[in-house]
Structure 1
Amino acid sequence: MPYAITQTCCTDASCVAACPVNCIHPTPDEPDFGTTDMLYVDPRTCIDCGACADACPVDAVHPVDALRGPLEGYAAINAEFYVDRPSSRATGTGPVFHDWGPPTFDRAIPAGFPALDVAVVGTGPAGMYAVQDLLLHTNARVTLIDRLSVPGGLVRFGVAPDHPATKRIGETFARHHTHHRLRMRLGVEVGRDVTAAELAAEHDAVIYAVGASEARALGVPGEDLPGSLAATTVVGWYNGHPEIAPAAVDLSASRVVVVGTGNVALDVARILTADPADLAGTAIAAPALGLLRDTAVREVVLLGRRGPETAAYTRSELLALTRRHGVELVVDDEDPRTGRAIDSAAPGEHAALLQGVRRETVDWSAPPPEGSRRLVLRFHSAPVAVSGSDHVAGLRVTGRGGEVEIPAGLVVRAVGHRGTPLPGLPFDDATGVVPNQDGRVDGMPGTYVVGWIKRGSSGGIGANRTCAAETVRALLDDAVARRLPARPRRRIPLPLLSGRARGRRREPSGH
């Protein structure tokens, strides 16, 4: 019985390296790696050894005959990926698509090379993949720095609490926190407690993995009103982010509008409509769970500017949404293009998953229906203005016959993120990243970037593995080629936990 990869796949390709018959694709050296929603097991060549399941850091790989409930459909999803791909067995080339050579690691340094002192700023996935490379494959000494008083970054504060398997990758990263060649410095912020120049003087190289923390704005009137929030605020609220107030999200209205159709938008919509009893055993923050138990929210509207065929969420997350119990899923079919796109979608396309979902032309002048909570998908509709005087009262959007007012007490924008300038580093305001070449910061030898601050806010957790590999490779190449600048050695007192970082909390705003 073959194995199948399911919805929590993080695409870090640990399973690819473990598979003895190369039946998991796309691999990191294939063009579509990083562009597919997940990785897939070829049921025609899988030999049922279980190596992929053992290697998976997020418990996403299971035997097909063990798939139950919401996971049952993933056997077909894995098989569909290979429909137009020839079986290597059929072509007589053996059980693999490509030559399978011995494992190699191209980020090593020569034996006897002096140990490097490297600082890594940021304890999220991008930073920790870089740390992992350095600790496991070099003799480098690493100083790991984070502005928060707890490590984890995106894994800890960005993954929905009802995705415990995805959060489990944090346990893999955490085992490096006590490595004998690593020192951790929490509550230390670059630009406040230490400067970039001081870090550069103290270390042979510095890697910045600070992510993209600024939520993109809608650019419409009224989005600064109370009750208009960035998705980062809502996600931080239900994950217990130390900078988000426990009462940051007001759930006193019956309807919420979430602008965006990516996975973060789906996460927010799913948590706001979940049965609190189902969340009680998860990692959700206790204050958020308390508010959800008393919530007035009965309907969440997901608003997409374009059609269902171009929605940004992954197929696996949408599939899970269609199989929820106790929450009605509805497609607003006011615009006929929505129904046409769903009806014409081929098997395997995102929109095809909506073919069995109920459609209706929603009357927005009426309150949400009584009874079970529901989630409404509205496509081909763009925000025009957030309405209200001293608090959000609704969202005005485009419609088939003109503008439409959707009454709502909370508007959440989930339309992407961008990086913010870091004191002492160059910054490209147009792209929201630190200008770099393969991770090397422009004009600053010995300074590197990794993750979203390097490439922009694209790709999930696993995408940072190959991104970090490229950056670490550049760093080690520079070290061996003697391109790292000489450092005037001096010790900098980096506090274990900055006093200014303790108890610091950011109140939510419209930005």
Structure 2
Amino acid sequence: MRHIAVIGSGPAGYYSAEALQKEYGEEVRIDVIDRLPTPFGLVRSGVAPDHQSLKAVARRYEKVALSDTARFVGNVTVGRDVSIDELKSLYDAVILATGAPNDRPIDIPGHDLPGVVGSAAFVGWYNGHPEFADLDPRLDVAAAMVIGNGNVALDVARILSKTPAEFVGSDIVAHAFEALGNSDIRDIHVLGRRGPHQIAMTPKELGELGHLEAAAPRVDIEDFPPELDDALLEPGLRKSVTHLRAFAAAGEAKRKTIAFDFFAMPIAIEGEGKVERVIVERTRLTDDLRSVGTGETYAIECGLVVSCIGYTTPPIEGVPYEHGRGRFANADGVIGPGLYCVGWARRGPSGTIGTNRPDGYEVAERIKADLGPGSTRKPGRAGLDTLLESRGADVVTFRDWRRIEAAETARAREGSPREKFTIIADMLGARGD
């Protein structure tokens, strides 16, 4: 028997557990440890609430969690309740699947003004993450800026633009649903340093902007290269650019506007005690497609800035870390003897949910090769249980989670699949006796 701990219950964690089950069959016991009482990581708190089909992947992870060889150990924080060294002494291997939940800071003057928020915080707010439920973003303003040209920026712009009726079927939490319904925002600027051919937006998500009830996307046709150049793009990006060209040609007028500001770099955020405007420098592309400033600047008036420029993995004491890349130092997922990483903690914040699957399978194969044949003398989950009990940890099991989930389903507003608890004490209380 082999005992393996997986830290993090998001896609990377559960794909790793699934891969370990296939490698070892019944000869493995896997503990999936998470600091929250709720599993599934960014599937629950990062995927947009109006993208319910993407959240359905949680059923695959649930199958893993309900097997005899894996269990969920929720409400346990590595570094507070148990250390990495203690886990390494208890398990044959430890896999860090902690993701990249921290916002990469936007390092320009005025970044700390009230009204500037990171996308992890903003997305966590409308998704009901306990750490961000009290964010209270400034929505009593006429204009907002979203900095970034990826799918997260699209999610933020779309959520800011939707009417209450367009949230039917979503699981956006009540406090965000109400606040967005009362929002004064009418103009949303999506800022990108480079041009339409360099976006990281996928066709499906971009195409959704063309079907919003009260908002119309706007793109300046002058920002595009010659249309013949589109043929050189890979197919997915070409479809995305086709959407942008359609937005530029439509010129549709609606109550709200989503304006794409390409070749635009924020250089300062200004205001008296709060965000009032962003100073933007126009950019151009070099021969190797890097963006460089031109020296020409202009101001965009806005009262809310959401920075969607990337994420970082928080360091853990005793684990080598690459500060420049915001991830654990590793070679193909191997940090050191008995310690591995997968997903964004390994690669940095890139790719889709499914991108994490190959990571998990590669590391599972590596672990089996590193450990070799035979069984372990390490205590595994029995040792963890003894340790956590001695420290008074209030562990949440998968059975507990299903009771929490049932309570969230029962309290849902009409047309919503659930109303998430946003306070950990309420989650723990929903477990029942």
Q: CA deviation at 1:242?
A: 1.1
Q: CA deviation at 1:352?
A: 2.7
Q: Distance in 1 between matches of 2:178 and 2:76?
A: 32
Q: CA deviation at 1:217?
A: 2.0
Q: Distance in 2 between matches of 1:351 and 1:392?
A: 32
Equivalent position to 1:241, from 117, 124, 129 = 129
**Contact preservation (8 Å) 1:118, 1:204:** yes
Q: Distance in 1 between matches of 2:228 and 2:372?
A: 58
Aligned to 2:406: none
Amino acid in the other structure paired with 2:345: I
Q: Provide Cα deviations, 1:3-54, integer angstroms capped at 9, x if missing partner.
A: xxxxxxxxxxxxxxxxxxxxxxxxxxxxxxxxxxxxxxxxxxxxxxxxxxxx
Q: Distance in 1 between matches of 2:174 and 2:73?
A: 27
Q: How does 1:127-276 map to 2 (within 5 A)?
A: 127-138=13-24, 139-276=27-164
Q: CA deviation at 1:485?
A: 9.4
Q: Distance in 1 between matches of 2:340 and 2:13?
A: 11
Q: How does 1:398-477 map to 2 (within 5 A)?
A: 398-399=281-282, 402-441=296-335, 444-477=336-369
SS in 2 for 1:404: strand
TM-score (norm 2): 0.81
Q: CA deviation at 1:439?
A: 1.6
Aligned to 1:36: none
Aligned to 2:409: none
Amino acid in the other structure paired with 1:439: G
Q: Distance in 1 between matches of 2:249 and 2:300?
A: 18
Q: Which has the larger radius of gyration?
A: 1
Relative distance call for 1:231 and 1:147 in structure 2 (3 A) is: same
Relative distance call for 1:404 and 1:343 in structure 2 (3 A) is: farther
Q: CA deviation at 1:457?
A: 1.3
Q: CA deviation at 1:323?
A: 3.7
SS in 1 for 2:326: coil
Equivalent position to 1:356, from 222, 225, 246 = 246
Equivalent position to 1:279, from 167, 187, 201 = 167
Q: Provide Cα deviations, 1:49-80, integer angstroms capped at 9, x if missing partner.
A: xxxxxxxxxxxxxxxxxxxxxxxxxxxxxxxx
**Contact preservation (8 Å) 2:35, 2:76:** yes
SS in 1 for 2:363: helix
Give % identity: 36
TM-score (norm 1): 0.69
Relative distance call for 1:503 and 1:496 in structure 2 (3 A) is: closer
Between structures 1 and 2, the one with greater helix share: 2
Equivalent position to 1:324, from 199, 203, 212 = 212
Relative distance call for 1:486 and 1:456 in structure 2 (3 A) is: farther
Q: CA deviation at 1:434?
A: 1.5
Deviates more, 1:452-461 or 1:179-188: 179-188
Tell me how large the CA RMSD over aligned residues is: 2.7
Q: CA deviation at 1:216?
A: 1.6
Amino acid in the other structure paired with 2:255: S
Q: Provide Cα deviations, 1:303-345, integer angstroms capped at 9, x if missing partner.
A: 0100111011112322232343432111145xx4x14356753
Unmatched tracts of structure 2, length 5 or more: 283-293, 397-422, 427-433
Q: CA deviation at 1:430?
A: 1.9
Unmatched tracts of structure 1, length 5 or more: 1-114, 362-368, 505-511
**Contact preservation (8 Å) 2:3, 2:376:** no
Q: Distance in 2 between matches of 1:279 and 1:318?
A: 18
Q: CA deviation at 1:295?
A: 0.8
Q: Provide Cα deviations, 1:138-169, integer angstroms capped at 9, x if missing partner.
A: 22101110011211101110100111000110
Q: Distance in 2 between matches of 1:280 and 1:322?
A: 18
Equivalent position to 2:278, from 365, 388, 395 = 395
Which structure is higher in RCO with an 8 Å CA cutoff and minimum separation 6? 2
What is the aligned length?
Answer: 376
